[in-house]
Amino acid sequence: MSLKRVIVVNKTFPQVGLDFLKKEGVKTTVIPYMDHEPESLPEIKKNINGYDGIIWNTRHRFDAEIMDLAGPQLKAVTTMSSGVENMDVKEIQKRGIPLGNVLQVLDNAVADIALGLIIAAARRFKEGIEELNRNEWKYGVQWMLGTDIANSTVGIVGLGGVGQAIVRRLKGFDVGKFLYCGRTDKPEAKALGAERVPQEQLLRESDFVILACPLTPETKNMINADCLKTMKKNAVLINIGRGGLVDQEALYVALKEKQIFGAGLDVVQPEPLPNDHPLLSLPNCFIIPHLGSSTTETRNQMAIVSAENILNAFNGKPMKYPCF
């Protein structure tokens, strides 16, 4: 393989990924900015021409303009995420450029976060901490009552790798029933003891509704006001997919009016969420700042898989996790 050049478009890319590429004889350039810095996108556009591979580890849109700026020699593109909602997949495919992501690598880390959110929302961690900080620690058998996971019905929207990892963990919590919905039957569902049902039934019967599906035009705002009214009064909504899966205005109303018991969110729209956003004011809405894959081991592995995707494409092999 002749000397190849790769550009990484966000400076937070883990060093292990850069070392991996260097060891394979790939010359790597890193854009010295992060997403939230105003110089980021102009710097990408100014410097992206002439590379054979791109690691698109940014939330900026990868579209026809970027591909035109990159030039016709571009042979491979990969994200450093499982989602590709910021990638113009159809345009990439039309141009015959291989596109990869990092599916499966982050399944366990995200599933761990889901479990944390379930417990935090069901047991009212946010309310308890707020009362503690206000020196309002109360007593009595009716104070700060939550809802049990044991014997509950858990509904998972999207029984992919993350959804399956969540079910495996929840098995130890003595869940009564697992439901799931999605575009197709999952062969793994039988072994996991999960039953496929229509989305409306899942929402109606579940005590915990977990969103673990990708954001697409079809899933955008899939949890809207009507869906929230369908859910149980004691239901807890967990979102570890993407913020755009939920109509947040409708969720605010549902939580404030106690149409549902609570919510635990690792993802919101936009990110970061403004500190005056109404959802942050609610005691029954537990929000964390998109920590799903945020472990050292997982992020390092994501970087290595990104590098492997690019190298495989350079060598005429299928990417480790191809998008098409």
**262: nearest Cα among 96, 125, 62, 61:** 125
**Domains of the chain: which residue ranges?**
5-103+296-314, 107-287
Which pLDDT does position 139 carry in this prediction? Answer: 86
Task: Answer whether 5-103+296-314 and 107-287 agree in fold.
Answer: yes
Domain 107-287: state its class.
Answer: alpha beta
User: CB atoms < 10 A from the CB of 132, how many?
Assistant: 10
Give the 3-state secondary structure of residue 208. strand
Retrieve residue 59's tokens: 């939330």
What pTM value is reported for the model? 0.94
| 290 is a catalytic site residue | yes
- Determine the average pLDDT of the residues in 270-293: 97
Which pLDDT does position 2 carry in this prediction? Answer: 73
Catalytic residue among 36, 60, 277, 290: 290
Tens digit of each residue's pLDDT (9 = 90 or more) over 41-70 = 999 999 999 999 999 999 999 999 999 999
User: CB atoms < 10 A from the CB of 139, how many?
Assistant: 6
Tens digit of each residue's pLDDT (9 = 90 or more) over 117-142 = 999 999 999 999 999 999 999 889 99
Quick check: 221 pLDDT over 80?
Answer: yes
- 304 sits in the region (left: phi over 0; alpha: psi -120 to 50; else beta) called alpha
Architecture of domain 5-103+296-314: 3-Layer(aba) Sandwich (3.40)
Retrieve residue 70's tokens: 């990159």
**209: nearest Cα among 193, 190, 222, 218:** 222
What pairs with residue 8 in β-bridges?
Answer: 30, 55
> Rounded distance, CA 215 to CA 222, Å?
9
